[in-house]
Amino acid sequence: MNIYWPTRTLQEQILMKWIDAGKADEILDNTMIEVDTGATAILLVKSNREFFAVSAVCPHHQAWFIQGRVDGTSLHCPRHMGAFDMKSGRLLSGPSCGDLPCYPVRIENGKVLIKSE
Ligand code: FES
């Protein structure tokens, strides 16, 4: 189980809900899936058997990451090649912009749960 939400205040975390993103064993390793929570477009990534939930849209110029590339815990934007750490959301390289919003993700009873607005 991994839970990362370094970009959220305590009040924001309390208002967030756990969203069912599907069965963990049906999601292939090294894949990306867009999850529409109704309020937020989230990218669920399974990389090296670990799940990450981040914004589906780049904070630089709003490119969709689904067309990008994953390398371990790094997510690479397809438009200007910005790279972000999916554990912390921190910008690793590329154009200057804010960090990538990250969402808590956990596995419970075989389901992938993402905490979102
Ligand atoms: S749109 Fe992602 S780095 Fe520019």
pLDDT tens for 55-90 read 999 999 999 999 999 999 999 999 999 999 999 999
Sign, CA torsion 26/30/35/108: positive
For ligand 1, pick from 61, 67, 99 the residue to mutate: most ligand atoms within 8 Å of CB: 61
Residue 83 Cα, ligand 1 centroid: separation in angstroms?
A: 9
With cut-offs at 50, 70 and 90, classify the pLDDT of residue 47: very high
Q: Cα(21)–Cα(55) distance, rounded to whole angstroms? A: 14
Please work out whether the CB of residue 58 comes within 6 Å of at least one atom of ligand 1. yes
Is the pLDDT confidence value at 46 over 70?
Answer: yes
Task: Please report the pLDDT score of residue 12 as a whole number.
Answer: 67
Please list the alpha-helical segments (H only) found in the chain.
10-15
pLDDT at 22 (0 to 100): 94
State mean pLDDT over 36-45: 90
CATH class of 10-116: mainly beta
Rounded distance from Cα 59 to ligand 1 centre (Å) = 7
Q: Which residue has the higher pLDDT, 47 or 5?
A: 47
Token output for 98:
């804010």
Which of the pair, 25 or 12, is modelled with greater confidence? 25
Which residue has the least CA distance to atom 4 on ligand 1?
A: 80
Assess whether the C-beta atom of 60 lies below 6 angstroms from ligand 1.
yes
Q: Where residue 107 falls among pLDDT bands split at 50, 70, 90?
A: very high
Write out the E strands in the chain.
17-23, 31-36, 41-47, 50-55, 69-71, 74-76, 83-85, 91-93, 102-103, 105-108, 111-116
Which sequence spans correspond to the domains of the chain? 10-116
pLDDT of residue 50: 96
